[in-house]
Structure 1
Amino acid sequence: MSSAAPPPPPAAEPPKPKDEGASYQEQIQEAARRNNTELLLQIKSELGNDQAQLAHLINDTREVITSNTPLHLACNLGNWEFIDIVLDIEGVEIDPKNRAGETPLHVAAKYATHEPDHGYFIIDNMLDAGADPRIRDNQGLQPRDYVVPSESKLSELLESAEYAISMEPHEDEQVREFAEEEEEAQDGSASESD
């Protein structure tokens, strides 16, 4: 009789992150807290560089008690490199609210009280990416309400962003103007053919 060992079982697929330790949600939170862009890019790679999946992961990952998203966490700590990558991911919600009703812009304004220059830089870039400075938290405060009085430059930035948004035509106005332009163009071409 042969005492050869049985053949090894077929190789199994590598376990998903949740099977081997931290879940993607835990990893993305850790990347946000530590400004760990390598971990963020590793997650992106493991998701097949699928922007939609990564955006979904970032949007749906929340801390249990605070309901902070990874973007809230990074803004709270001024972790610009993480924020910069996240702002470039199509489909990421830039104005999600946490349990206190704060957006990442509110959190960044609070961060700016301790780090005014860096906070200004982060807020300026978030506004450029489309963050809405008009949103009020559960206390009825906007991000500019958290700016310390000595930081007039930051207050002016947020106020000018609010003004710029208020000057944009509403969607209804844009649709009406487009319809009027189309009607005028059709009337013009009809009178030319007469």
Structure 2
Amino acid sequence: MPPFCRLTRQTVDDLVPDYDLATATVRRLRVERAGTRLTAFLQLLAPRRYAVDESPPERPPPLKVALEGVTDAVFDLSDTRGAALDPGVGGIEISLGSGGRLRAAGGEYCLDDRSWHLSAAGRRPPAGALTPSPRPAPARRTADDSRPPDTWVPTPVLPPPSCTRHAGAPLGALHRPCRSCPGARPVPGFLGSG
């Protein structure tokens, strides 16, 4: 499931290719006074545009939208199909049905979709994520190799494993694995060892 995201042009552009907001239905709408300002909570059921193996098919995942600084709220209870999110410089406008709308200074959304990892946005690495660099092929030694033997290292040297024990495990359980693993050593300072 994706985290809460601020409603920005970028986050909406990431959402639209994977979820059909034009056929989404309004499940909940609540507008409340918070001090001198209005807040709103909107929940849409937005059908997926990507394939999911579900048997039987589940209902569309809920898209939960929280808005702050609501300045306009118009909604027709008989017209609950279709939505459009339009975050702009001056705030956010959400169109609901053919004539409904919400306008607010800012907001965020969360998509409660257990299959989000299958969507295009869910498969894309997050911004700033490290990408693996290609590794060179390991050097292979052949019979006609003229390099001296000390220049060739077949595999990296790994440190021997260390032993730890779960807090509830008996002390004897710690020593048996250490004896059965060649090269294993107790963790220094753990239970008075080393």
Q: Which has the higher contact order (CA 8 A, sep 6+)?
A: 2
TM-score, normalised to structure 2, is 0.19
Going by fraction, where is helix more abundant, 1 or 2? Answer: 1
Larger radius of gyration: 2
TM-score, normalised to structure 1, is 0.19
